[in-house]
Amino acid sequence: MGWQWVMAGILAAAAVFPLAGQNTGQTEKLQQAADKAMAGRSGALVAIDVRTGTILAAHDMNLAAHGLARPGSTVKPFVLRALFESGRVDAEQKLVCRRVLRIGGVKMDCTHPPTVVNMNAEDALAYSCNSYFAEMATRLTADELQAALRKAGLDAPSGLAKEESVGNIEKAETREALQLEALGDRGIEVTALELLGAYRKLALQKRSGNLTKDEAVFAGLEESVTYGMAHAANVGGTKVAGKTGTAASRASIGTHGFFVGYAPAEKPEIAIVVYLPQGRGMDAAAVAQSVLAEFAESERK
Kindly indicate the confidence band of residue 207, based on its pLDDT and cuts at 50, 70 and 90: very high
Q: What are the C-alpha distances in Å from 196 to residues 93, 101, 104, 160, 258? A: 30, 29, 30, 9, 10
Give the pTM: 0.91
Nearest to 104 by CA among 172, 21, 4: 172
For residue 59, the Cα-to-chain-centroid distance in whole angstroms is: 18
- The predicted pLDDT at position 300 comes to 78
Contacts of 206 (CB under 8 A, 6+ apart): 218, 241, 262, 265, 266, 267, 268
- Predicted confidence (pLDDT) per residue in 108-147, tens digit: 999 999 999 999 999 999 999 999 999 999 999 999 999 9
Buried b (16+ CB within 10 A) or exposed e, 137-159: beebebebbbebbbbbbbbbbbb
- The predicted pLDDT at position 253 comes to 78
Spatial distance between the Cα atoms of 44 and 57, rounded to a whole number of angstroms? 11
Fold classification of 2-300 (topology level): Beta-lactamase (3.40.710)
Helix axes 215-226, 76-86, angle to 10 degrees: 150
Buried b (16+ CB within 10 A) or exposed e, 41-51: bebbbbbbbbe
- Predicted confidence (pLDDT) per residue in 160-201, tens digit: 999 999 999 999 999 999 999 999 999 999 999 999 999 999
